[in-house]
Chains A and B, each alone.
Chain A
């Protein structure tokens, strides 16, 4: 199973401690990636740069900056919570994007 994180528990509700991170799909292959700051994008969500809600727009603007071709399709903000000091997506959809699919991705034979 490709999925590394159980998603059967209800997601945590947003709270003042909820962080914001920027994600999108990598242009050349569609892989979900996360803005890690300094122009760098990572396929590991734990490496995403995370900010408070008040700083989210600035983070998104920084992630969107640069001359074409931008390496990521349509970056957008998502909510995250910190687990062991690392961001973890709040919504089920984003959790599955980061760690899924939750089913075995190929027939056994």
Chain B
């Protein structure tokens, strides 16, 4: 993991001191809310329905035990004993007091974390594949590039007042686990015919009011040119992105208006003018950053490991289900990537108590070379687990309610905070997720892989547009209704779901989802996922089942 140097540390200390003074002046009445609002948002502090909310960035979704323990301490000391992992590899605390925020930021700075650029019209925390560096299907580790982007984009003077917020995602694997195609800029690490590393660059993806799948602007960009090319895109956006209409200000609208060819021409012209850019990355710089992400020293698997694990799996069906669902192939022999589900049936997706965080920190030290990852799907990952340790890890996780065997299944639901917390929401998300996960959990393994995503408003923090089944809360004359989409996907074959028909009342959502699932189970072919069935059979059978008279 990248460690701060003296400059980074001093900068954060100064920033905290600056913020402490801003809070003091606000509480003393020397700053109005209008004056203070931008300052607090620049430090990730929102004012929500019940309290202030602090959003903290988790760069490339990677946490050390020290960091996770500090987040647990913050949860316990300054919040209500828990935190909420978001859909963008951040953590949010929902019950924060303004007067305590300088102390919280000071606590974060001590462990090299902050909440800068988790709000506002700037470049936000870069999303990374949570299996980075360990996935068996990986071409190249995306984390060094995320770190390079982090260093370049943090307080970038030219891009601190963009037309709107800006999100970048990087994946280095065959399977896209970072929703790359629905980011403002998406980067897929590729190798060219000569075996050189570079990027396929996508631009103009996004969700929200106008969901759009990103388009390829450069099929192959040499890795040394990463920052000049990103800078060229940002410059074009900064110059031509709309500032007169909040709803048309994202880069996706600019790309849509210009068309990808004209956008490409504009970016390439800007890029050509920067051919001698000091941002061109020398090999040694990339290597120096990459050295921070060197793999740990894995123990070679013992000859009897698989036999011991096999026996445990054969005699403990619940363990076998968890291993099947919640582990993924690791590049190191004898190891597995473990997804720790934060989606127990009937509970708010992504919430994690301080006690659970502390346990996970300990388990990461014992079983995962001291590393924890955060997924945009609101789960955690222990990336370096020896397969022979899986039974004991499963047992320990189970004692803390963290061994739900549902990764990627129907009850592994993404949901935004919705109207229970968020001042922008029109309808509640969490109670819908709780009801659905409680209802679907018993059928998870029969249904198989199914991604249900719920947003409480059109801003789409719950990524509903790219859910296999998407659920969007809407307000109809003061009453919560839910609009349902089907056939979306967030992976390398990203697709936007189609609205299936009129929104349904809250009490009807479970029945409606059941009806859609029944159609899928009836019509799916061997190995076919929900969006594939939708594409093959069309909307009609789903619509018919959903709106059939009871």
Contacts and interface: CB of A to CB of B under 8 A. Distances in A.
Interface of A: 8, 10-11, 13, 25, 27-32, 67-70, 73-74, 90-93, 96-97, 100-109
B430 A103 contact: yes
A50 to B, nearest CB: 19
A91 B80 CA distance: 26
A31 B50 contact: yes
Contacts of B33: 73-74
A97 B479 contact: no
Given A8-B506, A97-B49, A106 B97 contact: no
Nearest to A103: B430
Given A10-B479, A73-B33, A27 B27 contact: yes
Contacts of B80: 105-106
Contacts of A97: 49-50
B29 A30 contact: no
Contacts of B49: 32, 93, 96-97, 100
A92 B420 contact: no
A102 B429 CA distance: 11
7 closest Cβ pairs, A-B complex: A69-B29, A68-B29, A101-B420, A29-B97, A30-B51, A107-B353, A30-B52
Given A10-B478, A103-B434, A109 B356 contact: yes
Interface string B81-96: 1100000000000111
B99 interface: yes
B22 interface: no
Contacts of A73: 33, 47
A103 B431 contact: yes
A70 B26 CA distance: 10
B419 A93 contact: yes
Given A28-B27, A91-B478, A101-B50, 18 more contacts: A10-B479, A28-B97, A29-B98, A31-B50, A69-B26, A69-B29, A74-B33, A93-B49, A93-B419, A100-B50, A104-B347, A105-B82, A105-B94, A106-B81, A107-B356, A108-B353, A108-B401, A109-B353
A33 to B, nearest CB: 11
Q: Is the interface of B mostly helix, strand, loop or mixed?
A: mixed
Nearest to B79: A106
18 contacts: A8-B507, A13-B478, A29-B99, A30-B50, A32-B50, A68-B29, A68-B32, A69-B29, A73-B47, A96-B428, A100-B420, A101-B430, A102-B431, A103-B431, A104-B348, A107-B352, A107-B356, A109-B356
Contact of A29 (B32, B52, B81, B478): B52
A92 B419 CA distance: 9
Interface in B81-127: 81-82, 94-99
Given A69-B29, A102-B420, A109-B355, A29 B479 contact: no
Nearest to A66: B29
A109 B347 CA distance: 11
B446 to A, nearest CB: 26
B38 interface: no
Contact of B28 (A31, A69, A106): A69
A11 B479 contact: yes
Contacts of B401: 107-109
A91 B425 CA distance: 13
A30 B99 contact: no
Nearest to A31: B51
A104 to B, nearest CB: 8
Contacts of B347: 104, 107-108
